[in-house]
Amino acid sequence: MDRLKAEDLKKMISIQSLTFSYPSGEFRLDIEKLSVASGDKVAFVGPSGSGKTTLLNLVAGILPPQKGSIKVDNDEINSLGDSSRRNFRITNIGFIFQDFGLLDYLDVRDNILHPYRITDALKLNSDIRGRADMLAEQMGIADKLQRHPSDLSHGERQRVAICRALLPEPKLILADEATGNLDPNNKAHILELLFQSVEDHGATLLAVTHDHELLPHFDNVINFSDFLQGETT
Amino acid sequence: MRSNRSAPILLMFVILMFTLPLKVSAGEKLTIYTVNYPLTYFAERIGGDHVKVILPAPADVDPAFWEPDDDIVRQYQKADLIILNGAGYAKWTRKVSLPMLRMVDTSRAFKDDLVHIQTNVTHSHGPGGDHSHGGTAFTTWLDFSQATMQAEAIYRALVRKLPAQKQIFSENFEELRGDLQELDKQLAAIGERLARVPFFASHPIYQYLARRYNMNIKMMMWEPNEDPDDNEWQHLQEISQEHTARWMIWEGEPLSVSMEKLKNMGINSIVYAPCMNRPENGDFLSVMQANIQNLRKAYQ
Amino acid sequence: MMDSLYLAWRYLVYNKKKTFILVCCITIIAALPLALEVLLNESERQLALRAKSSPLLIGAKGSALDLVMNSLYFGDEVPETITMAATDQVMDTGLAAPIPLYVRFKSRGFPIVGTTLDYFDFRSLELAQGDMFTMLGQCIIGAEVARELALKPGDFVVSSPETLFDIAGVYPLKMKITGVLAPSHNADDLAVFADIQTAWVIQGLGHGHKDVTRTTDSSVILKKEESNVTANAKLMQYTEITKDNIDSFHLHGDAINFPLTAVLALPYDEKAGTILQGRYLEKEMPYQIVRPKEVIDTLMANIFKIRNVLDAVILFVGSATLLALVLVFSLSLRLREREIDVIFKLGCSRATIVKLLGAELFIIILISAGVCAGLLAFVHYYDQSLVRSLFI
C-alpha cells in the first residue's frame, strides 16, 4: 500500500457497524458509526475495560473485527491481508505506549531507528539517520543518543518513543496513555511536544487517556461509556 | 680416431666399485676397551682388522690397580665392547657405571673355580697407594686353559656384535687357541718335571699358575724394583726353614742387590712376567714363551 | 539478515552475564566429550607405544599390571621384588639381553630409577645437557624434572626417606646431577636415573664410612679383635658419594641377592622371545614373564568400557544441561513478552521475530563453537603433557 498524502484526506478514520469481541467472550465492542477527521486530535476516554485500547488495535489492524468496516483513509483495513496490514501499519501509523515500549539493550539512536530494522517496508539509509538526529534535536534529547533508556528519566524516554513513532512520518499517531507514567509537570510538556509534532507533520492523533485535565487540549473527546450503553457519536 | 683416455678411467672406476665396499666394511671397526694387556692381545688376535682395541692404562702402571678419570670412564661407556677380566680384577669397574650388556666378563665360565685369598694385609707400591691382594686371585690367564676360555668369551662376544665376520673370527680364534694350548702343554710338561719342587714368588700373583701346573709356590709381598727391608728378609729366612725353595720367581727383572742376597741364601732368581700391561718388546705369546723358557732353568 | 544480527548482537552484548553463561554451558557440553576423546586417544597411544617398545618384562609373581605400570611408567605401586639373580638367569639363557630395574624410591616426588646404562641405549635417550653419570652416587634427570625443579648439571637431588621413623633403613642419599635428558614425551621425562648400585646404596644395602680399622676415634669402636673390628651406631655413614670417599663405599653381601623390581628382557629375535616366555611358564619358576603390550591392551579394553560409561554420563549430563538451556531460553522469552508485543504492534512479522531470536541463538552458538575450537586446539597441542600430568 502506498504512503497516504495528507491533502487527499478529509476523513482519516471511518468506522461503520463495528462489532468486536475477544475469544473469551467477556467483552464486546459495538460501534455503529465513528469518524475522525484528518489532522484532528481526538481523545478516547472511558472506564477501564470499555474498549479504548481495543479500538486503537482495531484501527491499527492488529485485531480483526467480527463485523463492520474500518477505513483508514478509505482503505478498509480489515480486508487487507496480514502482510499488507503490517506494512500499512508500520509505514502509516506511529505507536506511543504508556510504558514507552523502548528496548533497554539498544541506545536511544537505535531505539528511534528500530522500526527500520524490523521490516523490509522501511529502508534505513543516511537520510533516515539524519532525520532521526533532527527529531532528537527537536525533542531535546540530542545529547542522549548514545545512552540507554535505563539511563533516562520517564519524560526523556517518552520523547524517545515519540521520535520513534514520528520517524516514518506517519499520518496517524496512536497514543495509548502516553502520559500515564509521567509526573504532572512532564505530562503537560510531553503533551505539548506531541501536539506540536503532530501538527508539524500534519498527522491525526488518537490518544487514550485517563487524565481529564488534558481533555481541553484535544479537538474532540470520545467517551467509550457511550459505546457500553450502545450509543455512538 | 677415438681417444683411449676413457678406458683407464673406466677401469679405475670399476676397480674402486669393487674395492670400496671392502674398504667400507673393513672400516666398520668395533671399538673395544679392555682392562689388561692379555685381554687386549686376545681381542686383537681374534678381531684382526675389524677391531680397534684400547687399553687406556698408562704403560708404567699396573692396570689391576689403576683408576681412570671421568673422561676415560666415558670412553669406556661409549665402547662397543668392554672386556673385563673378572675375578675382582680392576676394582674400579665396580665403582663406576658401565653398560652391562656391552661388558664381557671373560672369567664367568669358570667363576666357580676362582681362587679366594684369605689375607687382608695392605701394602703399597708405585703411585697407586695402598692396596690389597686379598679377596680373589685375578691373574687368571696364567692358567692357559683359563686363558683359552677367556679368549673364547671374547670370540663369542665379537661374533654377536659382527656376525658377518664369524668366519674370520673363528679362524683367528682357532689359531690363538692352538697357541695357548701349546703353551699349556709345555707348561704341563714342566709342571710334571717340577712336581713338588718348592718355589718362592716375589708377589702373590701365581695362584693359578701353581694350581694348574702343580707348582709348590710360597708367595712374598716383594717388588722387583725394590730391595725388601730387613723384616722381609727375616720373614723369608723363617719360611725357608720349612719351605726349602731354591728359586724365587719374580714378576719382573729384580734388582741385582736382591738377587745377590738371595744367591747368598742359596736361592736363584727367574722372571715369570704376568704381562699385565703391554710389554716393551714382543707380545703376550713371546713373553709367555720366555717365561716358560725361564722356568725350564729350574730343572736344567 | 544483517539487521537481525545487529539487533541480536546488541542484545547479547547488553546482557553480558547471561550471554557468558550460555556460551560457557554450550562450550562445555560440546568441548568436554571432544577434549576427553582427544586425551583418551593420546593416553591410549602413549601407553600402547611404550608397551609395544618393551618386549618382555620379568618380575615377581603377582599383579602383572603393577609390574608393567611400575617398570614402564614408574608408577607408585611397587611390586614384590626379585633379585639380581634374575638378570643373570636371563643372560645365561642366551636368548635375550637383560636390563635390571629397581624403581622404588623417590626424590621430591619423582621416581628414582635404578638401572644400567643399557637402558638409555634401549630407549634411545639422548642427553640435552651435561654428561652421563660415571660414578656411583651420581644421577641424570628427565627433562620435566629439570624444568619443574629448575635443576641443571652440577646441582643435587636427595632421595626421600620412605618413612619418618625407619632410621635404620632407607636414608637420604645426596646425588649429584651430571646430565639432563632431552625430552622424550613419556615417563622418562619425569624420572631421576641412577646406577642400580646407587639404588641399593639408597636402600642401605651398601654404605660408606670411615675405615674403622684405622680410625683414631675410639668412641666409635664397640669391639676390637685381631681379625675383626665392630663399630657402634655412632659411626657416621656418608650421605653423599664423592671421589674422596667412594673407596669406603661397599655393598654388604653378594650383589646377586640384591633386589630388583623387574628385569626388562630384550629377546634377540621373535623365536628367542617365545622360547624365553615358555621357560618362565614352568610352575617351579619363582618369577613371571609378561608382554607389556598384552597387559596394556587388556587395560585399554577396560578403559574403553569405562569410556563408554563416561560417554553415557556426559550424554546424560549434556542433555540435562541442554534442557536447562532451553528452559532458560523460554523463560527469557517470557520475560521479553512485552518487547515482542511492542515490535509486533510496530509492524514486525512473526517470522521476523523468530529470525531475531534465531539470530541470538546463532551468535551464541557461533561464539561457543569458536571457544570450543580454541579449547580443542589447546588440548590437542598440549595433549602429550596433559596426559602425562593427568593420567600417566
**Inter-chain CB proximity C347 and A83 less than 8 Å:** no
Question: Quick one: DSSP state of residue B140?
Answer: G
**Inter-chain CB proximity A62 and C345 less than 8 Å:** yes
Give residue C281's pLDDT band: very low, low, confident or very high (50, 70, 90).
confident
Q: Which of residues 185-244 of B touch C (CB under 8 A)?
A: none
- Regarding whether C262 and C114 lie in a shared domain, the answer is yes
Dump the DSSP string for C81-123: PEETHHHHHHHHHTSEEEEEEEEEEEETTEEEEEE-THHHHHT
**C340 is written with which cell numbers?**
515482542
Taking the Cβ of residue C132 and every Cβ of chain B, the question of whether any pair is shorter than 8 Å is answered with yes
**Inter-chain CB proximity C118 and B101 less than 8 Å:** yes
pLDDT of residue B229: 83
- Regarding whether C109 and C149 lie in a shared domain, the answer is yes
* C241, C260, C290 - which closes a domain: C290
Contact B43, B51 (CB under 8 A): yes
Residue C354 CB coordination number (10 Å): 11
**Inter-chain CB proximity C347 and A57 less than 8 Å:** no
Q: Is residue C218 part of a domain?
A: no
**% of chain C with per-residue pLDDT over 70:** 89
CA distances from A157 to A132, A153, B171 (A): 15, 6, 110
Give the CA angle between residues A7, A13, A18 to the nearest 5°. 160
* Nearest partner of B34 among B192, B191, B153, B185, judged by Cα: B153
Q: Residue type for B232, please?
A: E
Question: Quick one: DSSP state of residue B246?
Answer: S
pLDDT of residue B20: 43
pLDDT of residue C135: 92
- Regarding whether C256 and C138 lie in a shared domain, the answer is yes
Strand partners, A120: none
pLDDT of residue B12: 53
Q: Per residue in C217-231, is it b (16+ CB within 10 Å) or e — as a string?
A: eeebbeeeeeeebeb
Question: Rounded distance, CA B193 to CA B296, Å?
Answer: 9
The beta-carbon neighbor of A115 closest among C6, C15, C347 is C347
| Nearest residue of C to residue A97, measured between CA atoms | C342
Question: Rounded distance, CA C357 to CA C4, Å?
Answer: 8
* Nearest partner of B284 among B141, B108, B175, judged by Cα: B141
Task: Identify the weakest region by mean pLDDT among A186-200, B31-45, B178-192.
Answer: A186-200
- Regarding whether C119 and C84 lie in a shared domain, the answer is yes
Give residue B19's pLDDT band: very low, low, confident or very high (50, 70, 90).
very low
* Nearest partner of B203 among B262, B266, B274, B261, judged by Cα: B274
- Regarding whether C282 and C362 lie in a shared domain, the answer is no
Mean pLDDT, residues A53-76 taken together: 88
Q: Is residue C188 part of a domain?
A: yes
**B173 is written with which cell numbers?**
680364534
C87 CB neighbours in chain B (<8 A) are 100
* C268, C290, C312 - which closes a domain: C290
Contact B159, B169 (CB under 8 A): yes
Q: Is residue C365 part of a domain?
A: yes
Taking the Cβ of residue B97 and every Cβ of chain C, the question of whether any pair is shorter than 8 Å is answered with yes
Q: Is residue C262 part of a domain?
A: yes
Q: Is residue C333 part of a domain?
A: yes
Task: Identify the weakest region by mean pLDDT among B4-13, B154-163, C74-83.
Answer: B4-13
* Nearest partner of B290 among B270, B268, B276, B263, judged by Cα: B270
**Inter-chain CB proximity B77 and C132 less than 8 Å:** yes
Question: Rounded distance, CA C166 to CA B205, Å?
Answer: 45
- Regarding whether C318 and C204 lie in a shared domain, the answer is no
**C314 is written with which cell numbers?**
556426559
Pairing of strands C259-260, C250-251: unpaired
Mean pLDDT, residues A2-27 taken together: 73
Mean pLDDT, residues B164-184 taken together: 97
Dump the DSSP string for A28-73: EEEEEEEEEETT-EEEEE-STTSSHHHHHHHHTTSS--SEEEEEET
pLDDT tens digit string along C107-152?
A: 999 999 999 999 999 999 999 999 999 999 999 999 999 999 999 9
**Inter-chain CB proximity C348 and A86 less than 8 Å:** yes
**% of chain B with per-residue pLDDT over 70:** 85
Find which of A157-171, C161-175, C256-270 is predicted with most confidence, using mean pLDDT.
Answer: C256-270
Q: Please report all neighbours of B, defined by 3+ CB atom pairs within 8 A.
A: C
The whole-chain average pLDDT of chain A stands at 85
pLDDT of residue B24: 33
Give residue C221's pLDDT band: very low, low, confident or very high (50, 70, 90).
low
ipTM of predicted complex: 0.81
Mean pLDDT, residues A117-128 taken together: 90
- Regarding whether C303 and C167 lie in a shared domain, the answer is no
Q: Which residue has the higher pLDDT, C284 or C87?
A: C87
- Regarding whether C200 and C324 lie in a shared domain, the answer is no
Taking the Cβ of residue B4 and every Cβ of chain C, the question of whether any pair is shorter than 8 Å is answered with no
pLDDT of C252 strictly over 80 = no
**Inter-chain CB proximity B100 and C133 less than 8 Å:** no
Mean pLDDT, residues B156-175 taken together: 96
pLDDT of C169 strictly over 90 = no
First to last CA, chain C: 50
Dump the DSSP string for B141-208: GGSHHHHHHHHHHHHHHHHHH-GGGHHHHHHHHHHHHHHHHHHHHHHHHHHHHTTT-EEEESSS--HH
**C270 is written with which cell numbers?**
621373535
Q: Which residue segments constitute the domains of chain B, with CATH numbers given?
A: 24-120+133-179 (3.40.50.1980), 183-296 (3.40.50.1980)
pLDDT of residue C229: 61
The whole-chain average pLDDT of chain C stands at 87
* C257, C290, C323 - which closes a domain: C290
Question: Rounded distance, CA A120 to CA A23, Å?
Answer: 31
Question: Rounded distance, CA C51 to CA C30, Å?
Answer: 32
**Owner of C-alpha cell 661374533:** B159
- Regarding whether C282 and C326 lie in a shared domain, the answer is no
Residue C168 CB coordination number (10 Å): 8
pLDDT of C228 strictly over 70 = no
Strand partners, C262: C101
pLDDT of C33 strictly over 60 = yes
Task: Identify the weakest region by mean pLDDT among A128-137, A142-151, C238-247.
Answer: C238-247
Coil/strand/helix, residue A25 = coil
C135 CB neighbours in chain B (<8 A) are 70, 73, 95-97
Alpha carbon dihedral B153, B156, B160, B163, in 10-degree steps, equals: 150
Taking the Cβ of residue C48 and every Cβ of chain B, the question of whether any pair is shorter than 8 Å is answered with no
pLDDT of C259 strictly over 60 = yes
Question: How near does any CA of chain B get to the CA of C307, in Å?
Answer: 42
For chain C, give the longest Cα–Cα distance: 117
pLDDT of residue A230: 46
Find which of B122-131, C306-315, C329-338 is predicted with most confidence, using mean pLDDT.
Answer: C329-338
Count Cβ–Cβ pairs < 8 Å, chain B vs chain C: 49
The total of structural domains in chain C comes to: 2
Question: Rounded distance, CA C391 to CA B76, Å?
Answer: 39
pLDDT of residue B126: 47
**Inter-chain CB proximity C100 and B100 less than 8 Å:** yes
Kindly provide the residue ranges of all beta strands, DSSP E only, lying in chain B, ordered along the sequence.
30-34, 51-54, 81-84, 103-105, 116-117, 122-124, 130-132, 135-136, 198-201, 216-219, 247-250, 268-271
- Regarding whether C266 and C151 lie in a shared domain, the answer is yes
Task: Identify the weakest region by mean pLDDT among B87-91, B103-107, C33-37, C54-58.
Answer: C33-37
pLDDT tens digit string along B147-157?
A: 999 999 999 99
* Nearest partner of C46 among C291, C297, C389, C388, judged by Cα: C388
Dump the DSSP string for C136-182: TTEEEE-HHHHHHHT--TT-EEEPPPSSSS-TTS----EEEEEEEEP
Alpha helices in chain C (DSSP H): 2-14, 16-52, 64-72, 85-93, 118-122, 143-149, 196-203, 270-279, 292-335, 337-346, 350-381, 383-390
Question: Rounded distance, CA C386 to CA C388, Å?
Answer: 5
B68 CB neighbours in chain C (<8 A) are none
pLDDT of C361 strictly over 70 = yes
CA distances from C78 to A56, B108, C73, C293 (A): 86, 32, 12, 20
Contact B85, B106 (CB under 8 A): yes
Mean pLDDT, residues A90-99 taken together: 87
Question: Rounded distance, CA C233 to CA C168, Å?
Answer: 10
Q: Which residue has the higher pLDDT, C216 or B93?
A: B93
pLDDT tens digit string along C60-90?
A: 999 999 999 999 999 888 999 999 999 999 9
pLDDT of A231 strictly over 60 = no
Coil/strand/helix, residue B81 = strand
* Nearest partner of A233 among A64, A21, A36, judged by Cα: A36
| Residue C232: partners with Cβ closer than 8 Å, 6 or more residues away | C220, C221, C222
pLDDT of residue B25: 45
Question: What's the domain range around C94?
Answer: 56-208+249-290
**Inter-chain CB proximity A119 and C10 less than 8 Å:** no
Taking the Cβ of residue C354 and every Cβ of chain A, the question of whether any pair is shorter than 8 Å is answered with no
Question: Rounded distance, CA B296 to CA B189, Å?
Answer: 10
Residue A211 CB coordination number (10 Å): 18
Q: Is residue C238 part of a domain?
A: no
pLDDT of C227 strictly over 80 = no
Question: Rounded distance, CA B43 to CA B153, Å?
Answer: 10
Question: Quick one: DSSP state of residue C135?
Answer: B
- By CB neighbour count within 10 A (0-12 exposed, 13-18 middle, 19+ buried), where does A142 fall? middle
Task: Identify the weakest region by mean pLDDT among A178-192, B103-117, B175-189, C355-369.
Answer: A178-192
Coil/strand/helix, residue C54 = coil
**% of chain B with per-residue pLDDT over 90:** 60
Mean pLDDT, residues C159-180 taken together: 77
Task: Identify the weakest region by mean pLDDT among B23-32, B59-68, B96-105, C144-153.
Answer: B23-32
pLDDT of B127 strictly over 60 = no
Q: Which residue has the higher pLDDT, C46 or C374?
A: C374
pLDDT of residue C377: 94
Q: Per residue in A145-157, is it b (16+ CB within 10 Å) or e — as a string?
A: beebbeebebbbb
pLDDT of B129 strictly over 60 = no
pLDDT of C294 strictly over 60 = yes
Give residue B10's pLDDT band: very low, low, confident or very high (50, 70, 90).
low
The whole-chain average pLDDT of chain B stands at 86
Give residue B128's pLDDT band: very low, low, confident or very high (50, 70, 90).
very low
- Regarding whether C262 and C185 lie in a shared domain, the answer is yes
Question: Quick one: DSSP state of residue C238?
Answer: P
Q: Is residue C33 part of a domain?
A: yes
| Residue C344: partners with Cβ closer than 8 Å, 6 or more residues away | A62, C350, C353
**B44 is written with which cell numbers?**
686383537
Mean pLDDT, residues A91-102 taken together: 87
- Regarding whether C256 and C121 lie in a shared domain, the answer is yes
Q: Is residue C351 part of a domain?
A: yes
